[in-house]
Amino acid sequence: MSKDLRLGVNIDHVATLRNARGTAYPDPVRAALLAQRAGADGITAHLREDRRHIRDADMAALKEALAIPLNFEMAATAEMQKICLATAPHAVCLVPEKREEVTTEGGLDVAADAARLTDYVGALAEAGIRVSMFIGHDPRQIEASAAVGAAVIELHTGHYCDLHYEGRFDARDLELEALRAGAKLAASLGLEVHAGHGLTYETVAPVAAIPQIRELNIGHFLIGEAVFVGLDAALAQMRSHMDAARGRK
């Protein structure tokens, strides 16, 4: 039976740690297998243009090693499309990418690039890969995602999380309301709804409680927490927050 709210674990930052010393360890594939054993429903990895964390060989090794779905996060470039088609992951999440950013800062502007993205998404979908667009809650972007043929959107929760940690609770609640409206609109258009970016034990519950959301993708916080308690314990704790928010014990 498929779970009504899946937890996808992003293992990029195990590779960040590895690359900081130029060693062969810690191995992101080992982290992915540990997450799989600990009950993750999927693994996400972002192959960035600058290869700052995940590398091409990691993607191939993840695909080879995992029994659970691999979600290939990438920019919508010709280079990445080629690698993605060769890897044949379960899903792809298209994100905007800027060289100078620390992490994915905003959502993809699907509306501004709709003609090109229609072809781009079509080629991936034809290969049997589920395509997700990482976007903000702007209705224009949600409608454009449906129009270009995406099966899924992933709502960017980074701004909501930032507002929470800045203590700007009124603005945070407005942002949450917009995420709820976005999820509702997307589901009404037949899109599957995911969410992610910046989520922690403290911020996950209101997002997990949005009924249309089927999957959360969480990385940086879980990998950081794993340093202290281990990845399996961090995952279990995150899952219990998600289950509680969903009204399950």
- Residue 73 contacts residue 11 (beta carbons within 8 Å): no
**Other C-beta atoms lying within 10 Å of the C-beta of residue 74:** 24
Sign of CA dihedral 87, 89, 92, 96: negative
Pick from 47, 68, 196, 214 the residue near ligand PXP by CB under 6 A. 196
Q: Which of the following is catalytic: 13, 159, 197, 225?
A: 197
Compute the distance between CA of residue 120 and CA of residue 131 in angstroms, rounded to an integer. Answer: 10
Compute the distance between CA of residue 208 and CA of residue 245 in angstroms, rounded to an integer. Answer: 6
Compute the distance between CA of residue 170 and CA of residue 163 in angstroms, rounded to an integer. Answer: 9
Residues in 119-178 at the binding interface with ligand PXP, rule: CB under 6 A: 134, 154
241 carries an active-site annotation: no
Residues in 202-221 at the binding interface with ligand PXP, rule: CB under 6 A: 217-221
Q: Which of the following is catalytic: 73, 154, 175, 192?
A: 73
Give φ, ψ of 210 to 5 degrees.
-70, 115
Closer residue to ligand PXP (CB): 12 or 192? 12
Pick from 93, 124, 163, 187 the residue near ligand PXP by CB under 6 A. 93
197 carries an active-site annotation: yes
Task: Name the token pair of 127.
Answer: 């290969």
Min CB(217)–ligand PXP separation in Å: 4
- Residue 73 contacts residue 45 (beta carbons within 8 Å): yes
Closer residue to ligand PXP (CB): 92 or 146? 92
Closer residue to ligand PXP (CB): 40 or 95? 95
CA neighbor of 153 nearest in space, from 203, 195, 111: 195
126 carries an active-site annotation: no
Q: Assess 199 for contact with ligand PXP (CB under 6 A).
A: yes
Min CB(154)–ligand PXP separation in Å: 5
Q: What residues make contact with ligand PXP under the rule CB under 6 A?
A: 10, 12, 46, 73, 93, 95, 103-104, 134, 154, 196-199, 217-221
Residues marked as catalytic: 46, 73, 197
